[in-house]
């Protein structure tokens, strides 16, 4: 009985508040506009902040099958100011890791998207092009919406085939969503590539920025007189792994660390100190970034609260409550 009475009193108070607010807004149109704009600003800013936090820290890349099983590989680098983690590798380091974790995890290598020119002359456009091993789409569990992905044969070092896969968004936006474009030529930075497939709509890469096109890693241009895959100066590639069921992060860490140390000994006998860590597929949640993530999230959350408070008190002031 008491609970019902309290609820009735609360509803009566709410009705009175709403009625008072509506009368105030009706008699003062300028106040109405001001209140609406203030609330819209407060809500809009907070939605934008929450969207950013979700995209950067919380949401795994869309279109990836079972993303919780996929890991990024990082190498710990010691500085006087402390340890930092670097996700870049050269091809020989990738081979060492791949061989070391064989049977424990599938491994692939890719290069972040480059800004490239598509077409020729005045009609040329720009696009984002990523380069990846043939295992890229297979490891991520991505399906082709049209055509197919490039094969191991097309990604053989020294004999890479100039084929390319488009994102679904790029296919719709630039290629008109036309299925007959399969097999057509796309000129990328002056070189002719054949379009062989379109990725499923949900997938646009594994990083924050979207990718328009993917090509086999083996089609990367040469660097100097030696093949790029034997040159330790051609690095900065990213390694992703999909763990087999029951395999722990610690097992992969130890295998990869030992493999990279052996690879370092072969090249730099006095600097075999590599230590690797696997982390989330979400780059912002890599090892050593926990505190940074919390700091950024806390600051954005604090700004969101301040904006809501400003919007709330602005509304009260304009309605005559304060």
**pLDDT one-digit tens code per residue, 188-240:** 999 999 999 999 999 999 998 899 999 999 999 877 778 999 988 888 899 99
Neighbours of 70 (CB within 10 A): 25
CA-CA distance, 88 to 173, in Å (whole number)? Answer: 32
Structure tokens given for 185: 């030529």
Average pLDDT, the chain: 81
pLDDT tops 70 at residue 151? yes
* Tokens 């709403």 found at: 18
123 within a domain of the structure (yes/no): yes
At 266 the pLDDT is 59
Say whether both 127 and 13 belong to one domain. Answer: no
Closest to 151 (Cα-Cα) out of 219, 68, 77: 219
Instruction: State the residue range of the domain holding 306.
Output: 2-59+291-319
**Same-domain status, 112 and 258:** yes
Q: Residue 128 — very low, low, confident or very high, per pLDDT cuts 50/70/90?
A: very high
Task: Specify the 3-state DSSP secondary structure of 120.
Answer: coil
Task: Give the pLDDT score at 265.
Answer: 63
Give the residue carrying structure tokens 């480059």: 114
Q: How many domains does the chain have?
A: 2
168 and 25 co-located in one domain: no
Residues 171 and 83 in one domain: yes
pLDDT in tens, 166-192: 999 999 999 999 999 999 999 999 999
Which has the closest alpha carbon to 235: 252, 220, 256?
220
Q: Are 73 and 212 contained in the same domain? A: yes
Same domain, residue pair 299 and 154:
no
Distances (CA, A) of 86 to 89, 117, 241, 271: 9, 29, 16, 16
- Do 20 and 73 lie in one domain? The reply is no
Same domain, residue pair 264 and 306: no
pLDDT reported for residue 177? 94
pLDDT of 319 > 80? The answer is no
CA–CA distance, 68 with 35 (Å, rounded to integer): 44
Tell which wins on pLDDT, 300 or 140. 140
Domain identity same for 163 and 271: yes
Three-state secondary structure call for residue 278: strand
Specify if 28 maps to a domain.
yes
Within-domain flag for 87: yes
Instruction: Let me know whether 136 and 272 are in one domain.
Output: yes
288-311 pLDDT, tens digit each:
655 455 555 556 666 666 656 665
Give strand pairing partners of 116: 127
């Amino acid at each position: 009985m008491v609970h019902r009475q309290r609820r009735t009193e609360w509803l009566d108070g709410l009705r009175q508040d709403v009625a008072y607010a509506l009368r105030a807004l009706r008699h003062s149109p300028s106040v109405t506009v001001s209140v609406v704009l203030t609330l819209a600003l407060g809500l809009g800013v907070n939605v934008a902040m929450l969207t950013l936090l979700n995209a950067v820290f919380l949401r795994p890349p869309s279109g990836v099958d079972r993303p919780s099983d996929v890991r990024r590989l990082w190498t710990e680098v010691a500085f006087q100011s402390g340890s930092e983690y670097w996700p870049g590798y050269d091809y020989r380091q990738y081979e060492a890791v791949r061989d070391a974790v064989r049977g424990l995890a599938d491994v692939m290598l890719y290069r972040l998207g480059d800004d490239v020119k598509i077409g020729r002359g005045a009609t040329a456009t720009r696009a984002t092009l990523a380069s990846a091993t043939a295992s890229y789409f297979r490891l991520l569990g991505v399906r082709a919406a049209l055509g197919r992905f490039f094969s191991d044969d097309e990604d053989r070092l020294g004999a890479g085939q100039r084929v390319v896969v488009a994102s679904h968004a790029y296919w719709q936006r630039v290629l008109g969503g036309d299925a007959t474009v399969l097999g057509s030529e796309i000129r990328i930075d002056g070189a002719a590539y054949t379009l062989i497939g379109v990725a499923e709509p949900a997938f646009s890469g594994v990083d924050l920025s979207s990718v328009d096109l993917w090509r086999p890693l083996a089609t990367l241009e040469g660097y100097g007189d030696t093949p790029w895959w034997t040159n330790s100066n051609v690095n900065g590639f990213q390694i992703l792994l999909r763990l087999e069921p029951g395999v722990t992060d610690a097992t992969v860490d130890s295998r990869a660390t030992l493999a990279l140390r052996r690879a370092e000994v072969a090249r730099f006998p006095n600097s075999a100190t590599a230590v690797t860590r696997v982390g989330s597929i979400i780059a912002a949640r890599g090892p050593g970034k926990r505190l940074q993530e919390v700091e950024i999230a806390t600051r954005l959350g604090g700004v969101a609260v301040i904006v809501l408070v400003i919007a709330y008190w602005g509304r009260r002031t304009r309605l005559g409550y304060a």
